Amino acid sequence: MGTVGGGTVNVLTRNAEEIARRAGRGIVVTHAAARDINKPRICDTTNITLTTTPQDVVNDPDVQIVIELIGGDTLARELVMAAIANGKHVVTANKALIAKHGNEIFAAAQKQGVVVAFEAAVAGGIPIIKALREGLAGNRVEWLAGIINGTGNFILTEMRDNGSDFGDVLAEAQRLGYAEADPTFDVEGIDAAHKLTILASIAFGIPLQFEACYTEGITKITREDIVYAEELGYRIKHLGVARRTDAGVELRVHPTLIPERRLIANVDGVMNAVLVKGDAVGPTLYYGAGAGADPTASAVVADVVDVVRTLTSDPENRVPHLAFQADSLSDLPILPMAAVETAYYVRLQCEDKPGVLANVASILGNSEISIEAILQKEPVGNAPATIILLTHRVNEGKMNQAISTIEGLEAVIGDVMRIRLEHLDAD
């Protein structure tokens, strides 16, 4: 009964008549668990039996649907598994729970003939799960890319708009309540990796494999990189990318340059967006609020309505949890990052003397890396020169070797900054 729980009660109450018309019967919240049942709430709990023991809710014989909005993957997992064992349907907004334990949870749910719905686990109020699982069911999804963490997107937007440093914007995000006191899950990409794991599983019909997702945060992005990217016609976004290839599935979260003309490059602040490329439909974009009481409650309630509609249906004829029939999931491997192919933004600082750029270009050429654009910033005073390169698509393993060699040049100062680049076009 926190922010999202209160929002869910409010939406169910406010839109009760409309929801009943859609679901075919009324939906009433009868029981709820809270750490402190006397705490002021954003919803009316007059007709709800409150308890500090969540097991009371999942074990109550009169409860048909359990909504899990606790978070984490310990107590939440225990409660969800207990609810399933008791023959109750489950609705959850818990991305970590689904990403890490979804395979086990869905197997138990299928055995018991119950539904586990999780639309709110990814991108708040955007119905991206339903779009992938049902609306695009006729497509072979080729790739998807998403801004699926509002905190990271807010930070990068503020750094671009105000020329601020990462640390200053993070402090502002914490003050506004967008970032937690410990922002690790957001700024290091773990939250986005949970969500991308779920999206990739539904898009490609593969088991959930969170541990195989490559994850890189935004803490090393500087305002200079953002400025240079803009000069070259790009925006930097913290992107989750999943792509099907002949060799396997790319599953990766990292800062990414995107051409500024792309719609997704112009998604700012705490908003989320997911771009999906299907073979029949082409590219489709899903945009909206990725968090908040009412937007997330919108997705939770939509799941509850779906569950209510299935109460009288044959369990064998429901939409599968991960879009594909449970016995038809693919064993496509998740590719290691070194096997991924993408383009790159490379920034290096070097002594201002002849031949350095030629040496760098030679190293890239020897690694079969083609340069698309070069931007050279003249040094001020005795400061080192800055060289920015954009490359064409290349295998990451080759780029890693080239960067290591470049960093070994006597004239190159410090580490080379590398940010991946995706054009996200229809090809």
d(CA 129, CA 147): 15
> Does 177 have pLDDT greater than 90?
no
- Considering the chain, tell me which residue range(s) the CATH 3.40.50.720 domain(s) occupy: 3-126+293-328
d(CA 85, CA 116): 12
Cα distances (Å, whole numbers) of residue 427 to 63, 113, 138, 266: 49, 41, 19, 21
Confidence of residue 427 (pLDDT cuts 50, 70, 90): low
Cα distances (Å, whole numbers) of residue 269 to 22, 153, 239, 265: 33, 6, 14, 12
- Considering the chain, tell me which residue range(s) the CATH 3.30.360.10 domain(s) occupy: 128-289
Which of 264, 236, 267 minimizes the C-alpha distance to 166? 236
DSSP string spanning 272-327? Answer: EEEEEEETTTEEEEEEEE-SSHHHHHHHHHHHHHHHHHHTTS-GGGSPPTTSS-GG
d(CA 77, CA 80): 5
Q: Could you tell me the sign of the dihedral formed by the alpha carbons of 79, 80, 86, 90, in that order?
A: positive
pLDDT in tens, 185-229: 999 999 999 999 999 999 999 999 999 999 999 999 999 999 999
Contacts of 372 (CB under 8 A, 6+ apart): 343, 390, 391, 392
DSSP string spanning 229-274? Answer: HHHTTEEEEEEEEEEE-SS-EEEEEEEEEEETTSGGGG--TTEEEE
Helix (H) / strand (E) element for 388: namely strand 385-391
Cα distances (Å, whole numbers) of residue 335 to 239, 252, 394, 395: 17, 10, 15, 12
d(CA 131, CA 277): 12
Contacts of 123 (CB under 8 A, 6+ apart): 146, 148, 195, 272, 274, 286, 288, 290
pLDDT (average), residues 248-274: 97
Confidence of residue 161 (pLDDT cuts 50, 70, 90): very high
Question: What per-residue confidence (pLDDT) applies to 109?
Answer: 95
Which of 16, 15, 14, 52 minimizes the C-alpha distance to 31? 52
pLDDT (average), residues 236-242: 98
Confidence of residue 162 (pLDDT cuts 50, 70, 90): very high
Question: What per-residue confidence (pLDDT) applies to 2?
Answer: 87
Q: What architecture is domain 3-126+293-328?
A: 3-Layer(aba) Sandwich (3.40)
Confidence of residue 180 (pLDDT cuts 50, 70, 90): confident
Question: What per-residue confidence (pLDDT) applies to 274?
Answer: 98
Confidence of residue 378 (pLDDT cuts 50, 70, 90): confident
- Considering the chain, tell me which residue range(s) the CATH 3.30.70.260 domain(s) occupy: 341-421
List the CATH code of the domain at 128-289: 3.30.360.10
pLDDT in tens, 67-80: 999 999 999 999 99
- Active-site annotation holds for 195: yes
List the CATH code of the domain at 341-421: 3.30.70.260
pLDDT (average), residues 256-262: 97
pLDDT in tens, 278-295: 999 999 999 999 888 899
pLDDT (average), residues 216-244: 96
Confidence of residue 132 (pLDDT cuts 50, 70, 90): very high
Question: What per-residue confidence (pLDDT) applies to 426?
Answer: 66
Using DSSP's 3-state secondary structure scheme, residue 416 falls into: strand
CB atoms within 10 A of CB 392: 11
> Does 131 have pLDDT greater than 90?
yes
Using DSSP's 3-state secondary structure scheme, residue 420 falls into: strand
Cα distances (Å, whole numbers) of residue 417 to 37, 312, 317: 51, 57, 51
Looking at every residue in the chain, the average pLDDT score rounds to 93
Q: 88, 100, 130, 195: which one is catalytic?
A: 195
